[in-house]
Structure 1
Amino acid sequence: MSRQAQAAVLFLLGASLLHAGFTDLYLRYVKVGLRPMLLASGAVLIAAALATVWYEWRARKTAPEHAEDGHTGDTGHTDRTDHTGHAHREPRVSWLLVLPLFALILVAPPALGSYSALRTGTALQQPYGYAELPADGALRLSLVDYAGRAVYDHGRTLKGRQIKVAGFVALDKSGAPYLVRMALSCCAADAQPVKVGLTGRIPPVLQPDTWLEVTGTYTAQRTKDPVNNGPIPFLQVSSAAPVRAPQDPYDETWNN
């Protein structure tokens, strides 16, 4: 791979990172807090590409001057010739480095859904504390916040309150429905599910990966996740309505 090709790959990769960082595409890969680092990485790669082009141009420009002085200079060509006159090329396998770039540009992976959720144990963790809740009215909570309060606070701040949570549907082998959010610590590669079981007035037809906003009340009912024996609380459903998937499909509140 010549220096020009290396510079082109660096530039395209940097531009792709900047494109992902300036749009919502980056949310498919990393958490919101890593956006500045993603943008900085893209800028550094573009700067490296421009520096490579400048170095190559300078080497080509100065090569004739060295030749006139009786010196030989490295013109930056990738074809290397030894004293026998044989040319040596870099291995073509180096072009495989371009494949991840095309994957980033051409393929926007969907957010992890029910398939991953049912094959991974719940990642619910005990929070360090609980934010104050409004004294009256319906409570609109994140699914992770509701699950943490229901399990580790035993629903103390939830009893007698109308609760609204949103997540996507997952159905286990028996058809039992769960409302799920994938929680992440850094990036999509370490995403793990937090699950809430649904009971009460459950819609008769549920499709996996459908996003729902569920209104209901706290119930002390619990079960164990069959994958890792982690606790799964339940929500007593009074109504449920389909909603659009959120801009950020992942939940980051579990490790705050």
Structure 2
Amino acid sequence: MNRQSQAAVLFLLGAALLHAGTTDLYLRYVKAGLRPLLLAAGAILVVTALATALYERRRSRRPHAGDSAGDHAAEEGHAHEPAEGHGHREPRVSWLLVLPLLALILVAPPALGSYSATRTGTALQEPLAYPALPAEDPLPLSVVDYAGRAVYDHGRTLTGRVVRLTGFVALDHDGTPYLVRMALNCCAADAQPVKVGLTGAIPPVLQPDTWLTVTGTYTPRVVHDPVNDGPIPFLEVTGAKPTATPRDPYDESWNN
């Protein structure tokens, strides 16, 4: 891989990052707050690629020392030297760097779903505080917020309220339905599920990975995740309806 090829790969990678950052594609990889850094990285790679290509072009046009007096002697000396670019040939394995680029350009991975959720223990952690809730009815909450208040605040701020949650369906090995949202620290690679069990007026047929918006009320029922023994609170469902996959399928309220 010569310098021109390196510049081309850098340019394509930077362009791919800029494309992902200017569309919703980046949400499949990193949390929304990292968008400026992603765009900056893409811009730096593009500028670096253009600078490398320009430098190589100017270097190839630069006159050689043999063009001045003593050309003949220089040519004789060069006859015993390896041709330029052959003495320090980059290993062919460097072309494997193109594979991640092709994956980024050609394949848009789906958001993590029920397969990951049922094989990973709930990542619920105790919130640092419980902000006052607005007087909406039903009250929109994230899965993470509801689960934290239900388990660690024992539902004190939820009692008597009708809440509305949105997440995807995951079924436990015994058929128990969970409403799940994958929580992020920074990127999809560290995504972990937060689960809320569903009871009450549950739809008779539930398909894993179906996105639902459910309304219901707090119930003190809590079970332990069979994967890591973490707490899973429940919601007494009063209504449920399918919904489209949200623009950002991950829950970023965890650890924020």
Bin for the TM-score computed over the shorter chain: over 0.9
Matches within 5 A, 1:3-14: 3-14=3-14
Say whether 1:163 aligns with 2:166. Answer: no
Superposed displacement of residue 130, structure 1: 1.6
Shift in CA distance, 82/147, structure 1 to aligned 2, threshold 3 Å: farther
Superposed displacement of residue 70, structure 1: 5.8
Write the letter of the residue equivalent to 2:81: H
Superposed displacement of residue 83, structure 1: 3.2
Superposed displacement of residue 174, structure 1: 0.9
| Residue equivalent to 1:242 | 242
So what's the TM-score if we normalise by structure 1?
A: 0.92
**For the residues of structure 1 that align with 2:45 and 2:65, how far apart are their CA atoms?**
31
Shift in CA distance, 150/100, structure 1 to aligned 2, threshold 3 Å: same
Q: Secondary structure at the match of 1:251?
A: coil
Superposed displacement of residue 85, structure 1: 7.0
| Residue equivalent to 1:36 | 36
Matches within 5 A, 1:87-166: 87=86, 89-135=89-135, 137-166=137-166
Q: Secondary structure at the match of 1:228?
A: coil
Write the letter of the residue equivalent to 2:171: L
**For the residues of structure 2 that align with 1:196 and 1:71, how far apart are their CA atoms?**
83
Superposed displacement of residue 57, structure 1: 1.1
100-109 or 128-137, which deviates more: 128-137
**Which residues of structure 2 form unaligned runs of 5+?**
72-78
Root mean square deviation, CA, Å? 1.8
**For the residues of structure 2 that align with 1:17 and 1:159, how far apart are their CA atoms?**
46
| Residue equivalent to 1:83 | 81
**For the residues of structure 2 that align with 1:248 and 1:135, how far apart are their CA atoms?**
25
**For the residues of structure 2 that align with 1:14 and 1:250, how far apart are their CA atoms?**
25
Q: Percent sequence identity over matched residues?
A: 70
| Residue equivalent to 1:68 | 67
Write the letter of the residue equivalent to 1:83: E
| Partner deviation per Cα, 1:189-242 (whole Å, 9 max, x = no partner) | 000000000001111100000000001100000100111111000000111000
Shift in CA distance, 227/65, structure 1 to aligned 2, threshold 3 Å: same
Structure 1 runs, 4 residues or longer, greater than 6 Å off = none
| Partner deviation per Cα, 1:109-138 (whole Å, 9 max, x = no partner) | 000000001111111111111221123522
| Residue equivalent to 1:216 | 216
| Residue equivalent to 2:198 | 198
**For the residues of structure 1 that align with 2:155 and 2:80, how far apart are their CA atoms?**
77
Q: Secondary structure at the match of 2:208?
A: coil
So what's the TM-score if we normalise by structure 2?
A: 0.92
**For the residues of structure 2 that align with 1:8 and 1:70, how far apart are their CA atoms?**
37
Superposed displacement of residue 21, structure 1: 0.3
Q: Secondary structure at the match of 2:241?
A: strand
**For the residues of structure 2 that align with 1:120 and 1:171, how far apart are their CA atoms?**
13
Superposed displacement of residue 71, structure 1: 8.7
**Which residues of structure 1 form unaligned runs of 5+?**
73-80
Superposed displacement of residue 82, structure 1: 7.0
| Residue equivalent to 1:255 | 255
